[in-house]
Amino acid sequence: MMVADARGAGCQTGLTAAVVVLLGGCKYTAPEPSDTAPDGSSCTPISKGLGRLAAPTVDPPILDGVFDDWTTCFVALDTTNAGLVRELEEARFASGAFSVAHDGSRLFVAVRLTAEQPRGNELSDIYRNDSIAIYVDADRVSNTDYDGNAAQIVIDHAARIRSFRKTVPITLPGVDAVVQEAATIDFEVAISQSALGPFASTVGFDLGLSEGDGQDQLSEVVWHQECDGQSGCLCSNDDDAPYCNAKQFGAVELLP
């Protein structure tokens, strides 16, 4: 049902409360995503409530862009359950699912991205292409924006990797990624402790799915938004998103 109310004309009602979503100028809540396996098989759940995940210790998966050796469940992510929907240039939004695990020294992230053509072929600012952004804070201590243990890692459909700290490009060793592109774009990523320092028992984490055409980043669908406009969480440009403030990240508990 579409109504005009205090949130703006044409905002949708009837969504259950859990996650704050900003979409087309409307602000409403959406349900927490549930755990599933891509092929419908049994898996180890990782969701622990709003903005919180639990990553079990696993034998390292083979980084080949194929999820058949993943035993952890995947969390669905789209505009209906995202913590933040950023409509930047066009109301064209990616969707997908992701999972996390670790082996004691590396954090593993698997992502299935569904995005429209064209994929984009920008070689430098790869966030303008169809891509994912993995946000990690190794010690989960971000008193002022990003510290030296936090980074935004962008990987596009062509497996190009660029890393940023509060929008500033950085060189980040210890990040490996393999991408398989077909009807969906499947990413397998390993982030070692050499990238951001030793992992605490709980690390800051967020994930964004971006639609891009090579000219512009059209939109980003973000798993979690911790602050939602609270003092100290906004960026210098008054934006309210994890790319410019690590306090927005959710969290992943690294289980023994």
pLDDT recorded at residue 20: 38
**Are 109 and 6 part of one and the same domain?**
no
Global pTM reads 0.87
Helix (H), strand (E) counts: the chain: 1, 19
Residues 11 and 72 in one domain: no
How many domains would you assign to the chain?
Answer: 2
- Each residue of 130-154: pLDDT tens digit? 999 999 999 987 655 688 899 999 9
For residue 134, report the phi and psi dihedrals to the nearest 5 degrees.
Answer: -105, 125
- Please give the residue range of the domain that contains residue 65: 35-254
Q: Which pLDDT does position 65 carry in this prediction?
A: 97
Residues 113 and 91 in one domain: yes
What CATH number does residue 223 fall under?
2.60.40.1190
* Residue 211: per-residue pLDDT: 97
Q: Are residues 22 and 123 in the same domain?
A: no
pLDDT at 143: 56
* Residues 198 and 246 occupy one common structural domain: yes
Same domain, 123 and 176: yes
CA atoms of 115 and 135, how far apart (whole Å): 20
Q: Give the pLDDT of residue 7.
A: 25
pLDDT digits (tens, 9 = 90+) for 223-244: 998 886 676 777 777 788 899 8
